[in-house]
Amino acid sequence: MGQTITQKILAAHCGKEAVEPGELVNARLDMVLGNDITAPIAIAEFAKIGAETVFDKDRVALVPDHSTPNKDIKSAQLVKILRDFARLHNITNFFEIGKMGIEHTLLPDEGLVLPGDAIIGADSHTCTYGALGAFSTGVGSTDLACAMALGETWFKVPEAIKFIYYGKMPKWVSGKDLILYTIGKIGVDGALYSTMEFTGETISELDMAGRFTMCNMAIEAGGKNGIIEPDEKTLAYVNPRAKREFKLYKSDPDAAYKDVIEIDVSKLEPIVSFPHLPENARPISEAAHIKLDQSVIGSCTNGRIEDLRVAAGILKGRKVHPDVRLIVIPATQEIYLQSIKEGLTEIFVEAGGAVSTPTCGPCLGGHMGVLAEGERAVATTNRNFVGRMGHTKSEVYLASPAIAAASAVLGRLGSPEELS
């Protein structure tokens, strides 16, 4: 029996010819990631186990993206723990303010995660890097501590589900809509501890930004990892950025899957996930009556330059509804600068929006857009749990940049089609 791409990567990283679903393996790691919420706990555990230094100063990344610039004394103290640890161990990839970005956009853009890699991060959306054809998954802070010391960790090899997307995507339908529709179809536990392998002609046509978005939200279906086989688009993205060699893997034709799900995208509408679960997915035509207080465009899911271009194209020459606060957050400093160079930032400001330095910010109810009681936001983020973006009696509606931008103008959930 053949092997899936995930099985091949794990086998290569534990020195075996093949691995099987359910097997426990110890795998070496190519990159280990922590942020300002999770890494301070890991650093404390690192000291407790008596580790003298990190396994490789070039393969540990510390990204203080969740509450920076620091919103209060507590967040400043957390970042100081990272900064001091990075200096003590000469960690190459500590990203200070001014160089920082949202971790899951920053690391691929910096060429620090590559096809064929095995990557862990103490953040659940580490699964984003599967868009490059890597095995990447989130872990707890104690696992991060051991991985920083040893450069390896254990996994149970996941079963795999193959998702085959076919047909031409209609206008305004994006990778975000594909993954929201998929989560709506299978539920938030539909891929529990499974590989979500995204394939098909639609995925082949999808740009890298859309692929990152889809893999980013695999965890929202309970997935262990999301992954897409690398192709020419992957190499066009990776080759100018890669700082080391990498290896491409693909699934064997006779690889075993616990399920195969086919999705015709040709008749899809843009999707909105209603509170308080990503699985509450509805087409925009069934969602247009919801009045909004805020629109957030950004996050590790949709803060890339492609996302900002879509939003700016809709907002150009228009004004944000007087009852709505529009917050735009480029995912990295490079994206921020590119947005300025292309005139996108000017469009956002002239429309009545606020543009932030890179941060996770409102996605986790941290800062830069926390919701009050009774308020509603449309957001290009990845979660809409109770209290996720602020008050427990606020509501978050997940959508694409196109829907978030159009809704900011309309003052309610709506489609760009309504603005033409």
What CATH number corresponds to the domain at position 401? 3.30.499.10
Distances (CA, A) of 97 to 231, 279, 324: 34, 35, 29
Mean pLDDT of 194-220: 97
pLDDT in tens, 127-183: 999 999 999 999 999 999 999 999 999 999 999 999 999 999 999 999 999 999 999
Where residue 285 falls among pLDDT bands split at 50, 70, 90? Answer: very high
pLDDT in tens, 46-60: 999 999 999 999 999
Same domain membership, residue 29 and residue 123: yes
pLDDT of residue 387: 86
Same domain membership, residue 283 and residue 243: no
Same domain membership, residue 73 and residue 208: yes
Residue 39, token pair as written in the block? 């890494």
Q: What share of the chain is helix, strand, coil (3-state, %, to 5)?
A: 35, 20, 45
Same domain membership, residue 143 and residue 13: yes
**In a 10 Å sphere around its CB, with 0-12 CB exposed, 13-18 middle and 19+ buried, how is residue 72 labelled?**
exposed
Mean pLDDT of 5-10: 98
Q: Could you tell me the pTM of the whole model?
A: 0.95
Mean pLDDT of 366-381: 94
Cα 144 from chain centre: 19
Same domain membership, residue 384 and residue 243: no
Same domain membership, residue 102 and residue 67: yes
The total of structural domains in the chain comes to 2
Same domain membership, residue 338 and residue 258: no
Same domain membership, residue 342 and residue 304: yes
Same domain membership, residue 357 and residue 233: no
Task: Answer yes or no: is pLDDT of 205 > 80.
Answer: yes
Same domain membership, residue 305 and residue 278: yes
Least confident range from 14-18, 266-270, 365-369: namely 365-369
Task: Answer yes or no: is pLDDT of 278 > 90.
Answer: yes
Where residue 363 falls among pLDDT bands split at 50, 70, 90? Answer: confident
pLDDT of residue 288: 75
Residue 267 located in a structural domain: no
Same domain membership, residue 310 and residue 179: no
Range of the domain at 368: 272-419
Where residue 420 falls among pLDDT bands split at 50, 70, 90? Answer: confident
Same domain membership, residue 141 and residue 171: yes
Residue 415 located in a structural domain: yes
pLDDT in tens, 380-400: 999 898 889 889 999 999 999
pLDDT of residue 199: 98
